[in-house]
Amino acid sequence: MPLGEAILRTKGIWPLVALILTIAGVIYFGIATPTEAGGLAAMFTVLISMTLGTFSWRGLYHSLITTTVVCGMLTFIIVGAVIFSISVSVLGIPKQVVESIAASGYSPLTIILLVYLLYIILGCFFDFISMLVMTLPFVYPVVTAVGYDPFWFGVVLVIVGEMGLLTPPVGMNLYVLQGVAKVSLGEVARGSFPYFLMLCVTLILITIFPGLATWLPGTMR
């Protein structure tokens, strides 16, 4: 496909771009909290659908049911995460892990590389939220103890989480793409591999130049 034609075909994604700018804008400028921004985004999505003539009450009903199911699942995950976090805190496991890492003599770079590897491997078997609730009580104290910025680590978590969502056999994004494209999981995984490499490059860049990840959050402090 010629480049000019490819660019022209991207005009159909303007609703998605507008939605992203709406969510990011109201959060960045302090107009709304992230939770409130989610509500505004849902309302904005309905308005876009009405504008494009794709709105239907049946579709809205299906969206509400799906949202209820997903929120119910996340509620159980969060409850389990709270119980898990309290348990490991009472047992003193995070402190023991931090002390063990400190005594090991590993450099901060080696530690963060091991964290990257941990999340990429876990991404082959777990969804992102499950990975966070299982690992953050251990990983976060270690990462901050060796001097890494919490804002920077938050950006890193998003990137390695997205990398995990592109790794079979349980890469959630792969199954979403498979359902849309109606092709085999292997074909979807092969097609997603270049994007996995792009995320790897991004991870390398913000590891070498942390300011790339902390500059924007720094303007909001």
The Cα 31–Cα 127 span in angstroms is: 31
| 8 Å CB contact between 214 and 152 | yes
Residue 115 burial (10 A CB sphere; 0-12, 13-18, 19+): buried
pLDDT in tens, 155-169: 999 898 888 878 877
Query: 3-state SS string over 192-221?
Result: HHHHHHHHHHHHHHHHHCCHHHHHHHHCCC
Give every residue of the chain whose pLDDT is below 50, as ranges: none
Specify the pLDDT at position 170.
66
Q: In terms of pTM, does the model score above 0.85? A: no
In the chain, the amino acid numbered 13 is: I
The Cα 141–Cα 104 span in angstroms is: 15
The packing angle between helices 172-181 and 185-208, to 10°, is: 140
Of 60, 82, 79, the residue nearest 71 (C-alpha): 79
Specify the pLDDT at position 99.
67
| 8 Å CB contact between 214 and 167 | no
Residue 106: partners with Cβ closer than 8 Å, 6 or more residues away:
114
Per-state percent for the chain, helix, strand, coil, to nearest 5: 80, 0, 20
Specify the pLDDT at position 200.
92
Of 77, 90, 80, 116, the residue nearest 206 (C-alpha): 116
The Cα 217–Cα 205 span in angstroms is: 17
Element (H, E) at 142: helix 128-145
Four-point Cα dihedral 169, 172, 173, 174, nearest 10: 30
